[in-house]
Amino acid sequence: QSALTQPRSVSASPGQSVTMSCTGTSSDIGTYNYVSWFQQYPGKAPQLVIYDVTKRPSGVPDRFSGSKSGNTASLTISGLQAADEADYYCCSYAGRYIVIFGGGTKLNVL
């Protein structure tokens, strides 16, 4: 299983919306609705922001939303805030009890 593909960085201004992609294959994202997204600040542990493609854990603002189309999952953050600047990682179930992560996307809030 290869890592999921994420853009290295995306940029947007405060108040705008940004969407970042996570591309897999028909063996992982394309088959299973078990995609999660994690936010990681420098020097900190990751935090879950989206699970099961579209669900938000309690405490995560509804500015964060997830979706999936075919082999690609997406995370959208609306009403961008400076505090959203972080690294974002997707992960997906890949069958046979294996989970794979994407390489991560650095979100720059300009």
Partner 1 sequence: EVQLVQSGAEVRKPGESLKISCKGSGYIFVTGSIAWVRQMPGKGLEWMGVISAADSDTNYSPSFEGHVTISADKSINTAYLQWSSLNASDTAIYYCARRGSGSISTFDYWGQGTLVTVSS
Output 52 or 110, the one with its CB closest to partner 1.
Answer: 52
Output 91 or 109, the one with its CB closest to partner 1.
Answer: 91
> Which 11-70 residues touch partner 1, going by CB under 8 A?
34-36, 38, 40, 45-48, 51-52, 57
Q: How far apart are alpha carbons 36 and 52 in whole angstroms?
A: 6
Counting contacts by CB under 8 A, is residue 3 touching partner 1? yes
Concatenating the DSSP letter of every residue in 37-72 gives EEEE-TTS--EEEEBTTTB--TTS-TTEEEEEETTE
Nearest CA to 104 among 78, 75, 80? 75
Beta carbons of 41 and 35 less than 8 angstroms apart: no
Site string for partner 1, 64-83 (x = CB under 8 A): --------------------
Binding site for partner 1 (CB under 8 A): 1, 3, 34-36, 38, 40, 45-48, 51-52, 57, 87, 89, 91-93, 96-104
